[in-house]
Amino acid sequence: MAIVDEIRELLASALADIAAAADTAALDAVRVAVVGKSGTLTGYLRSMGQVPADERAEVGKAVNAAREEVEAALEARKAVLASAELEAQIASDALDITLPGRAQQVGTRHLISRITDEIAEIFLGLGYTVASGTEVETDYYNFEALNTPADHPARGLQDTFYVVDRSGDVSAVRGESDVLLRTQTSGVQAHVMETQEPPIYIIAPGKVYRRDVADPSHLPQFNQVEGLVVDKGITFGDLKGTLEYFVRQMFGEDRRTRLRPHFFPFTEPSAEADISCGICGGVGCRFCKGTGWVEVLGCGMVDPNVFAYADIDPEVYSGFAFGMGVERIACLKYNVPDLRMLLEGDMRFLRQF
């Protein structure tokens, strides 16, 4: 067979292989076999010397033409295969955006924090400022400066947790430590009166602790908001008016307030404030134990002995104080029958507010 015919056949089979190459790797194998360093077509170019002189021009032309055609075909096929492979890769790497996402749980503010802020806002609106104290307090500020000396029977109602130093001092364990977890926010009163000159209009929100077992109306740790006013000419009427305003803002215009005489060591006279029952409207039901009233807070006129601890002259100044439990206010506002429900962390319950 003439050399040019061999070349024509080789060209035909190379073009067929190129057309049949399924991917770029297979195509490259064809390229190496035909036009690579030791490829079949390259072999003809290398052995031109052995071709008889009169055929050389013709054979040379045929080989070059075949090589150009093969290279053009390789180029064209490569473009087709590469773009198909790119398409396939994009398709397989793509995110499946049809899969439903995992919903993020969105939290809400806890009811206790919300009610604390609501109480604060009512009093801020009246010109009060917020004072804060520490949860670890000394016996002096928690009891003594509030006219509750060591042998006072009122201490019995507010047993608490004492802080013992790390050396494990046993005298402290026996109840002789004077560092404790505060049982009431009333101690902030004593701090504020020591450091500020009257007029004083403050509220003090914060956590308090008692050695109580949790039941529907008691918690060993809860939140209070304390209020204190010291100014010239403050009367019991100012206390009553302030509390009535607070109750209407917090619970609604239709709620009535009454004051019942009571005892607190740091106020004289002292009272407990009740509001008309939100469930029966004051007629009497199980929630208010048939009385039509529910207790909301303690209050009174600051005892002159408390002023004396802070060097405030009771002949010049008078004042009132009050203290309320935030959990209690929250439960009364939303008719929650058990304080413990606020602390259980049940989202079905907490999300309602």
Binding residues for ligand DAH (CB under 6 A): 184, 186, 226, 264, 267, 298-300, 321-323
Bridge partners of 293? 276
CB of 239 to ligand DAH, least distance (A): 9
CB of 254 to ligand DAH, least distance (A): 26
Helix (H, G, I), strand (E, B) or coil at 98: coil
CB of 267 to ligand DAH, least distance (A): 4
State both tokens at 22. 């399924």
Tokens 């020591």 belong to 194
Phi-psi category of residue 142: left, alpha or beta, with phi > 0 → left and psi -120 to 50 → alpha: alpha
For residues 251 and 320, which CB has a smaller minimum distance to ligand DAH in the complex? Answer: 320
Residue of this chain nearest to ligand DAH (CB atom):
323
Q: Are the beta carbons of 284 and 291 closer than 8 angstroms?
A: yes
For residues 243 and 342, which CB has a smaller minimum distance to ligand DAH in the complex? Answer: 243
CB of 264 to ligand DAH, least distance (A): 4
Helix (H) or strand (E) holding 319: strand 318-325
For residues 214 and 279, which CB has a smaller minimum distance to ligand DAH in the complex? Answer: 214
Bridge partners of 270? 262, 300
Residue 286 phi/psi, 5-degree rounding, is: -65, -35
Strands (DSSP E) contained in 131-266 are: 136-138, 179-181, 200-209, 221-231, 257-264
Tokens 């209020």 belong to 227
DSSP of 329-344: HHHHHHT-S-GGGGGS
CB of 316 to ligand DAH, least distance (A): 20
CB of 298 to ligand DAH, least distance (A): 3
Q: Are the beta carbons of 200 and 319 closer than 8 angstroms?
A: yes
Q: Is 314 exposed, middle or buried (0-12, 13-18, 19+ CB in 10 A)?
A: middle
For residues 147 and 267, which CB has a smaller minimum distance to ligand DAH in the complex? Answer: 267
For residues 6 and 268, which CB has a smaller minimum distance to ligand DAH in the complex? Answer: 268
For residues 36 and 220, which CB has a smaller minimum distance to ligand DAH in the complex? Answer: 220
End-to-end CA distance of the chain: 97
CB of 116 to ligand DAH, least distance (A): 16
For residues 15 and 324, which CB has a smaller minimum distance to ligand DAH in the complex? Answer: 324
Q: What is the DSSP letter of 100?
A: P
CB of 337 to ligand DAH, least distance (A): 21
For residues 299 and 332, which CB has a smaller minimum distance to ligand DAH in the complex? Answer: 299
